[in-house]
Amino acid sequence: MAIWIGSAPRMSTIGALGLIGLMTALSGPAAGSATGLAVAGVETQLNEPGVVASVQRTPSSIWAAAAQGDSATLETLLTPTSWDQSNLNPDLLASIELLDTNINKREASRNEQIAETSALLLEHLEAYEASKSEASKSGIELSEALAAVVKLQILYDDKDRFFSDASVAKAINLAQQVAAQAEAEGDWMIASELYFRLNAIYDQSGRYKEDVQRLGRRLAMIRMYAPERLWEIRNQRRIAEGLDPLPPYNAYGDDYHEKLKGINSITVRTAIQRAADQHVGRKTRKHPTGVTMNDLILSGIDAIETMVTTTDLAMVFDGLKNESKRAQFLEVIAAQRAKIQAKEHTASGYDLRRSLDAILAAGQEHVGIMENALLHEFGNGAMAALDDYTAIIWPDELSRFRRSTQGEFIGIGVQIQLDEFQNIKIVTPLEGTPAQRAGVRSDDIIKKIDGTTAIGLGLNQAVEIITGPANTKVTITVEREDENGELIEKEFTIIRQRIDLPTVKGWSKTGPGDTQWDYFIDPDAGIGYLRLTGFTQDSTKEFDQAVRTMKNKGLNALILDLRYNPGGLLDQAISLASRFVPEGMIVKTVDASGVTKSLDKARSVSERVSLAGIPVVVLINEGSASASEILSGAIQAAAHQDKIQALVLGQRSFGKGSVQNVYLLPGATSAMKVTTNYYHIDSPRMIHKVPGATQWGIDPDLVVDMLPSQQEDALLLRRSADVLPLDENGNIIEDTERPDPNTLITEGTDLQVETALVLLKSQTIVDNTKTTMMD
C-alpha cells in the first residue's frame, strides 16, 4: 500500500496603489491592521486600520511589514518616492522602481481587459440573439459569452460589481436555460461547456457540480466506446466556430475492447466495498450523515442510466437503438434503484452483488451491452458518490498512474505536442535517452508509428502507443527538412527504456542534462530559485543536489516555486519540509471525527542541505495542491512560530487536503485509491476544500495578483525557456530562438517572482541606510 496525497492568520495585500489581490469574497480583510505590531524590533503604531502613524524605514523593514501582515506599511515601503534615494542601496531601489512600474502596467492592463471583455460579452450576446434559429451556432455564441463572464470574474476585484453587471446576469440566466435544453436534445458538447463555465462562476457553492460530472461522464463514455463519434462532435464544433476541420480520425490504439480487458465483477465489487468501509466520509456514529453503501450503489445505478440515455452510444451498442428494449432495461434500472431506496438499513456487500448482477444480466439481455463495459461505468459511478479523488484505476490507466507517482516511465524519451496543423511534433528529445541517441531531433514531425499513420492521433493516443514494456522496440517515421530545405522521411527503430522525469528545476537552463541549470535568479545577491513540479520518489535527492550546488557558490536566500505543482508522495513532502523546518510537527492526518491518525515531525538533516538558516519565499497559486500545500503550509507554520524566516506569497492554494491509500485490486491489473483521512498543518482548520466552504487551502502571507494574460504568458515563456533543442548527437542547436526567463521580471510578466525577489533583496543587501521616519 502506498500513501498518495494530493491557515495563515497573518495575511498582507498591497492595496490599490500597489498589488491588488483578487481575494474578493474568498477572504476577509488583512489581519493585523488595527493593532500595534512589533516589526523586527522597530515599534509601529497604527491609529486607524491601514493608516500609518510612523515607522522606521530600512530595507529590513520591508520584509518585516510583509511578515507581520502590515499592508499599509508594506505598500508605502514599496513606493519608490517614499525613500531617500541617496541612502538606499541602488540595486534594491532599482528593483522597487521596476516593481512599481510593472504594478502600474498590470493595473492599466486590467482596466483595458475589463473594457475589452465587457465589449466582447455584449458582442456574443447580440450574436446569440441573432442566431437563435441555428441551435449549434447560437449555443457556441452563448458559450463564448459565458467564457467572457468567467474572465470578467477573474479581472474584477469586486464581487458585488461583477454580479450586478446586467450583461453578466443575462448571460448566466440564458446559460442555465440553454444548458438544460442542450442536454435534453443530446447536444452534449454545448451542454458540457455551459455547465462547466457556470460551475467555474459558482465554484464555491458547488451549484453545478453534479451537472458537470454528469455531462463529463457522457462525453467520457463516448470517448471510450465511440471515439470516432466524439471526433465528429468536436469536428462539427470547430467547423461551426469557423475553424479549420480536424485531421481525419485515427483509431490506432483506440479500441475499447482492449481497454476493458481484465475487468470483472469481483474487481469492481471489491473496490466499492473497500470504499464503503474506509472512506473518510463514510457514515459512523460520530458522522451519522456520512456516505453509505446505499449511496454508492445508487450512484452506480445512476451512471448506468446515464450510459443508456447517451444516445450516441447506439453506434456501438445496437440494442440501444431499439426503444422498446431500451425501455425494458431502464425499467430494470428503476426497479433496482427503488429496492435500494426502500431499504431502512445500510446496504451490504450482498445487496451490492444482487443489484449489480441484475443490471449486468438485463443489460446484456435487453440492449446487448457487454458485461465489462457495464462494470466499468457502474464502478465509476459508485466512486463518484464519494469525492473527486477516490477512484478505480482501470487496467488501461494503471501504467499512467504509476508514472505520475514514481516520476518515471518506459518509453523513448521525447517531449511531444500538437502543432497548429494537429501534427505530432517533437519538442525535444531528452538528453541521453534512446530517442536522442537514435538521432531524433527537435521539430521532427511523427508521421507513422510502427508503420501505421500517426495523422489524426491525439497526444494521449500517441503516448500510449509509443510507450510500452522495457526493452521492446518501436519504430517511428519522422518528417524533417534536409540540408537543402527539402522534406524527407527518416525511420528510427528505438528500444524502449526507463526514462527518469526530474521534478526539480532552476531559473535558467544551461545544458541538456537534468541538473544543468543556473539556479540563481540573482547571482550577485546569492538569491537562488528552485521550481518543484511534483513529488516523486527522487524529488528530495534532486532537491538536495541543487541545494548543495548553490551552497558551494554562496546561497543567501531562496525562492521556492510551488505554483502549478499538483502534489505527489507524502513521504517526499515531509522529507522536503524537513530541509526548511528544523523541528516540530510537519503534518498530521485526522479522520472525519477529528481523531489524529498519524503525526509526522521534522526529520534531522545534514547542514549541507538544510535551508533553515536563510530567508525563503514560497510561491503558491490555485494550481498548488496536495503535497505542495503540506510543504508550503509547514514552512509557513514554522515561520509564524518564529522558527525560521519565511514568507508564503501568491494566491490561495487549491485545497486538496486529503490522503488517499492506494491498493491493488484482485487480479493485479487494476487498482484503486480511496480517501481515508484529511491532513492538518498547525491548526484544526480544514485545508481540504469541501462544497460550500469559505476557507480552504493555504492562504499566502502576501497576496500578489497576476492577470490571466500574465499567467498564460509566463507559462508559455517558461515552457519554451526550459527546453534546449538537441541534435542527434545531444548537442544544443544554437541557432534556435529561446526566450530569456529574466524577461519575466523586466517585462513585469511574473509579478509574483518579482515581488519575492524584492523581498529577499531587502534581506540579503547589507543595510547601510540611515534610519529615517515616515509619517
Residues noted as catalytic? 626, 642, 656
What is the C-alpha separation between 491 and 476, in angstroms, rounded? 6
What is the C-alpha separation between 358 and 354, in angstroms, rounded? 6
Q: Which residue has the cell 530600512?
A: 58
What is the C-alpha separation between 670 and 269, in angstroms, rounded? 12
Closest CA to 578 of 607, 536, 546, 550: 607
Q: Which residues of 40-65 are buried (b: 16+ CB within 10 A; e: fewer)?
A: eebebebeeeeebeebbbbbbbbbbb
Closest CA to 151 of 708, 564, 621: 708
Report how far apart, in Å, the C-alpha atoms of 567 and of each of 113, 388, 656, 769 are.
Answer: 32, 15, 9, 42
DSSP secondary structure string, 431-481? TTSHHHHHT--TTPEEEEETTEE-TT--HHHHHHHH--STT-EEEEEEEEE
Handedness of CA 362, 365, 367, 370 (dihedral sign): positive
Contacts of 98 (CB under 8 A, 6+ apart): 745, 746, 748, 754
Closest CA to 775 of 53, 45, 80, 70: 53
Closest CA to 657 of 633, 641, 637, 639: 633
Residue 163 C-alpha from the chain's centroid: 27
Closest CA to 470 of 496, 445, 488: 496
- φ, ψ of residue 332 to 5 degrees: the values are -65, -45
Angle (deg, nearest 10), helices 293-309 and 371-383:
130
Contacts of 503 (CB under 8 A, 6+ apart): 407, 532, 533, 534, 535, 536, 538, 539, 542, 568
Single-letter amino acid, residue 366? H
- φ, ψ of residue 289 to 5 degrees: the values are -95, 10
- φ, ψ of residue 56 to 5 degrees: the values are -70, 140
What is the C-alpha separation between 363 and 307, in angstroms, rounded? 11
Q: Which residues of 545-570 are buried (b: 16+ CB within 10 A; e: fewer)?
A: ebbebbbeeebbbbbbbbbbbbbbbb
Contacts of 634 (CB under 8 A, 6+ apart): 577, 580, 581, 585, 586, 587, 681, 682
Residue 559, H or E segment: strand 557-561
Cβ atoms of 490 and 477 closer than 8 Å: yes
DSSP conformation class of 314: G
The radius of gyration of the chain from alpha carbons, rounded to an integer in Å, stands at: 28
Report how far apart, in Å, the C-alpha atoms of 559 and of each of 71, 92, 146, 715 are.
Answer: 21, 17, 37, 17
What is the C-alpha separation between 568 and 562, in angstroms, rounded? 12
